[in-house]
Amino acid sequence: MANKKNKKVELIAPAGSWECLNAAIKAGADSVYFGIEEMNMRARSAKNFSLSEINKIASLCHKNNVKCYLALNILLYDKDIGRMKKICDASKKAKIDAVIATDITAIEYARSIGLNVHISTQANVSNFEAVKFYSRYSDMVVLARELGLDEITSIIKRIEKEKVKGPSGELVKVEIFAHGALCVSIAGKCHMSLSTYNHSANRGDCLQPCRRSYRVIDEETGDELIIDNKFVMSPKDLCTIGFIDKILDSGVKALKIEGRGRSEDYVYTVVKAYGEAINSYYTRDYTKEKINEWTKQLESVFNRGFWHGGYYLGNKLGEWSGTFGSKATKKKEFVGLVQNYYPKKNVASVLMQSSGIKCSDELAITGPTTGIVNFSVNEMYVNDRKLEKSSKGDLITIKVPEKVRKNDRVYVLAGGRN
């Protein structure tokens, strides 16, 4: 087993919005990664932030002892260079901890102004020599998702043996993805969206044609090939919760959660589960029972089904989603907006806008500052009259476990109803 005197592995969470950023911090993330407008690989699917918000992001993260990394990982055209430099300059000024980059132009410029760089998985770093090459620029290299744990372990051992150091003078750290969406293409370098719709995946504008269902038809006869699964290019999501011990034994120093296009409940649930799994490794109580419970929690939020193991355990890609969209066991249904919060009593007033709720329902309250608050309704009131069930249009008061804010959105978790 790995030397557990080493620094605890870093858990990196996705933040595609203020709600998700606050949810990640609340869930215990060590660091977050986010994008600015169109200059990142989730330009289409995530809300992203404006450049004017970068100081606020850095301030919030550092106030909570959380590192913040800016994803600047698209392939750059000449027209993008000025914008890239402006973002890097602002990142340096705001004290962003690092930018995640692929294009050598962004990497070179960031280093030239003293801005830390993490090498993105888009660089498809698959061997030790590539790590050594990028060490002149970076203290953290995100390895290609297609590597097995044996290959990852071998690379890390060579880094340690040959004392490969980054710009800081410390040994280069290895980061891998732990959970979330997988692309059918190697390292996500897919041209299908570009060739079909003129929307480039490598510039953050993927329309995800791979996630659709397809029919296989013989053009000569018109006969259709009967296949069990029409989603022949849509992989299940990666899930490593069941072998975190093996991953940490390899010497990996950072685990990244995919999902800047996902919602705040996804971010909170996934980060919390993996944080608990990592902690259990260090406290030596990483058990099958806990793995089963974490897996159940992960299944409750967005997922396309899970590929337990992925390439890390030497498996070939062949775990297909079999359906469009999410297989989450719980679905969020919007029901109303917070009107007020009364801190002395930990009570919120909520205007029911689309439907009512009943006692025992499981709720989620989300907002840009609140992040997410999950709880079950024990009792509710309308004009001091206790109710078992509310209706659309009611202004109810309910106990909440922590502070919420005016105009926070209230959801009932379908599948969480009793």
pLDDT digits (tens, 9 = 90+) for 50-65: 999 999 999 999 999 9
In whole angstroms, give the CA distance from residue 277 to residue 268: 14
pLDDT tens-digit series, residues 15-42:
999 999 999 999 999 999 999 987 755 5
Bridge partners of 402? none
Q: Are strands 140-142 and 173-180 parallel, antiparallel or unpaired?
A: parallel
Buried b (16+ CB within 10 A) or exposed e, 354-371: eebbebebbbbbbbeebb
Under the banding of pLDDT at 50, 70 and 90, the label for residue 235 is: confident
Bridge partners of 413? 332
Distance of CA 163 to the CA centre of its chain: 31
Q: Does residue 91 have a pLDDT over 50?
A: yes
- H/E stretch holding 267 reads helix 264-282
Torsion of Cα atoms, 265 then 271 then 273 then 278, to 10°:
180
Q: Does residue 7 have a pLDDT over 90?
A: no
In a domain, 205, yes or no: no
pLDDT of residue 4: 38
pLDDT of residue 276: 97
Closest Cα to residue 243, out of 270, 269, 280? 280
Residue 56 domain boundaries: 10-182+235-313
Q: Of the candidates 279, 313, 347, which is a domain's last residue? A: 313
Tokens representing residue 275 in the block: 């944080």
Query: CA-CA distances (angstroms) from residue 81 to 69, 75, 93, 397?
Result: 20, 11, 18, 52
With tokens 């709880």, the residue in question is: 375
Closest Cα to residue 258, out of 104, 87, 38, 46? 46
3-state SS, residue 299: helix
Query: CA-CA distances (angstroms) from residue 242 to 26, 207, 274?
Result: 23, 31, 10
Q: Does residue 196 have a pLDDT over 90?
A: no
Query: CA-CA distances (angstroms) from residue 268 to 20, 50, 370, 414?
Result: 8, 23, 12, 18
pLDDT of residue 3: 37
In a domain, 219, yes or no: no
In a domain, 41, yes or no: yes
Q: What is the mean pLDDT of residues 138-156?
A: 96
Query: Residue 59 sits in a domain of what CATH number?
Result: 3.20.20.70
Tokens representing residue 139 in the block: 């203290």
In this structure, the answer to whether residues 308 and 387 fall within a common structural domain is no
In this structure, the answer to whether residues 390 and 241 fall within a common structural domain is no
Q: Does residue 8 have a pLDDT over 90?
A: no
Under the banding of pLDDT at 50, 70 and 90, the label for residue 222 is: confident
pLDDT tens-digit series, residues 303-331:
888 888 888 987 766 566 556 667 778 88
In this structure, the answer to whether residues 371 and 247 fall within a common structural domain is no
Which segments within 120-203 are labelled E, that is strand?
Answer: 140-142, 173-180
Q: Of the candidates 313, 346, 374, which is a domain's last residue? A: 313
In a domain, 381, yes or no: yes
In this structure, the answer to whether residues 309 and 336 fall within a common structural domain is no
What's this model's pTM, rounded to 2 decimal places?
Answer: 0.86
In this structure, the answer to whether residues 279 and 345 fall within a common structural domain is no
In this structure, the answer to whether residues 279 and 383 fall within a common structural domain is no
Q: Report the 3 state secondary structure along 363-410.
A: EEEEECCCEEEEEECCCEEECCEEECECCCCCEEEEECCCCCCCCCEE
In this structure, the answer to whether residues 128 and 21 fall within a common structural domain is yes
In whole angstroms, give the CA distance from residue 313 to residue 204: 29
Bridge partners of 26? none
**% of the chain beyond a pLDDT of 90:** 70
In this structure, the answer to whether residues 289 and 345 fall within a common structural domain is no
- H/E stretch holding 205 reads none
**Which amino acid, 333?**
E
In this structure, the answer to whether residues 57 and 176 fall within a common structural domain is yes
In this structure, the answer to whether residues 243 and 389 fall within a common structural domain is no
In this structure, the answer to whether residues 406 and 302 fall within a common structural domain is no
Structural domain tally of the chain?
Answer: 2
In this structure, the answer to whether residues 52 and 115 fall within a common structural domain is yes
3-state SS, residue 220: coil
Query: Residue 355 sits in a domain of what CATH number?
Result: 2.40.30.10
Bridge partners of 338? 350
Higher pLDDT, 403 or 188: 403
Distance of CA 66 to the CA centre of its chain: 15
Query: CA-CA distances (angstroms) from residue 85 to 50, 53, 137?
Result: 15, 17, 17
pLDDT of residue 417: 43
